[in-house]
Amino acid sequence: MRYVQTTPPASPPRLLEVVRDQRAYTLNILHAALEEQRTRGNDPHRHDLYHIVLYTRGTDRFSLNDRLVPVQGGDLAITSPGEPHDFGPVDGSRIAYREVTFEMRSGAHRLDLPFRALLAHYVGQPLSETTYPVRLESRAAAPLHDLFRVLLERLCGKTPFEDLAAQATLAELLARIAAAVYGCEELFDARVSPVDQARRLIERQAAGSLGLETLAAQVGLSPAHLCRQFKARFGQSPMAYHQRQRVLAAQRLLSTTTLSCKEIATSLGFSDAYTFSKAFKRVAGVSPSRYACKA
């Protein structure tokens, strides 16, 4: 499990700011986790925070709004300020999830707007009532999985740019939720070419394995056609581009965290540390350990 708890910067980015009742509320990301594992839930609690939770594996029940609801891998749960919840399993099974917790703050005041209303503000249109958890199709869940990975990586950064990048990643996570849960598919421009869609998918899935056939199917091209178009556009094959993105992600982790090479290899989907080291040296020209010494 990887967990990052953040300290809001003194001057946080205002990308997702909300003005309400003459107050400007700034979004602060408080913490995020990948593959958090729970075997028993605690007593339900409530606070003035927002939680976005994507269950990845396991089957059980959890507590939400004073009721016990079934949950399994692929389910999305979201709570608003003031809603009682506990995401741990009630029946004692082992479940895992990815989550991000954030607040909307203006000085000593926190915004208590329901998540649906907050999301409606961002997308600029009213949204229908939804009862969580929501079962997501695999095609809708896959980008969310990848965005959680990218978000955690951004939160490990130490610069104002990384703070902005983390908020931009959360903004896309919110847009994906709007599209998958509330039917706002127009948020994603269908006019983007398949090869550009493939590049975006590769960048979002840098932290993990990715097959050419899967990528081609996601953008509606044959593998051979995708390879030809991608190489003509970007000068390298999709898989070479993916490998480079994984190494770039590894470089950021080596520069900003104390994770071992083995931990980084696992988080980026490499089969073992040797394969990771070999791929890293092929792209970066030096071994991961030597790069870490220079960083």
pLDDT at 295 over 60: no
Structural domain for 274, as ranges: 194-294
Domain shared by 154 and 94, yes or no: yes
Residue 150 and residue 204 in contact, taking contact as beta carbons nearer than 8 Å:
yes
**Greatest mean pLDDT range, 109-118, 140-149, 162-171:** 109-118
DSSP β-bridge partners for residue 34: 2
Domain shared by 244 and 157, yes or no: no
Domain shared by 165 and 202, yes or no: no
Q: Please identify, among 185, 213, 228, the residue that sits at the C-terminal boundary of a domain.
A: 185
- Confidence at residue 190, expressed as pLDDT on a 0 to 100 scale: 57
DSSP label at 235?
S
Domain shared by 117 and 249, yes or no: no
Domain shared by 13 and 139, yes or no: yes
Residue 144 and residue 76 in contact, taking contact as beta carbons nearer than 8 Å:
yes
The stretch 51-78 carries a mean pLDDT of 92
Model-level pTM?
0.65
As a whole-number percent, the residues of the chain with pLDDT over 90 amount to: 35
Q: Please identify, among 185, 214, 244, the residue that sits at the C-terminal boundary of a domain.
A: 185
Domain shared by 14 and 151, yes or no: yes
Domain shared by 164 and 258, yes or no: no
Sign of the alpha-carbon dihedral angle for 250, 256, 261, 266: negative
Domain shared by 164 and 281, yes or no: no
- Confidence at residue 294, expressed as pLDDT on a 0 to 100 scale: 65
| Sheet order of strands, 85-86 included | 67-72, 59-64, 85-86
The mean of the pLDDT values for the chain is 86
pLDDT at 32 over 80: yes
Which tokens is 240 given? Answer: 């070479």
Q: How many domains does the chain fold into?
A: 2
CA torsion angle 110 112 117 120 (round to 10): 10
> Looking up tokens 């770039």, which residue turns up?
248
112 confidence band (pLDDT: 50, 70, 90):
very high
212-216, Cβ contacts within 8 angstroms, sequence gap of 24 or more:
212/238, 212/239
- Confidence at residue 188, expressed as pLDDT on a 0 to 100 scale: 61
CA torsion angle 229 234 239 245 (round to 10): -150
Span of 70-79, 102-111, 205-214, 237-246 with lowest mean pLDDT: 205-214
Domain shared by 99 and 138, yes or no: yes
The stretch 81-87 carries a mean pLDDT of 95
Domain shared by 175 and 247, yes or no: no
Domain shared by 141 and 62, yes or no: yes
DSSP β-bridge partners for residue 279: none
- Confidence at residue 75, expressed as pLDDT on a 0 to 100 scale: 94
Instruction: Look up the CATH number of the domain holding residue 229.
Output: 1.10.10.60
Domain shared by 169 and 260, yes or no: no
- Confidence at residue 29, expressed as pLDDT on a 0 to 100 scale: 94
- Confidence at residue 185, expressed as pLDDT on a 0 to 100 scale: 64
Nearest by Cα to 269 from 144, 149, 94: 149
- Confidence at residue 189, expressed as pLDDT on a 0 to 100 scale: 58
Which tokens is 170 given? Answer: 């959360």
Q: Please identify, among 185, 217, 234, the residue that sits at the C-terminal boundary of a domain.
A: 185
Q: Strand runs (DSSP E) across 107-167, as ranges? A: 109-110, 134-135
Instruction: Look up the CATH number of the domain holding residue 171.
Output: 2.60.120.280
pLDDT at 1 over 80: no
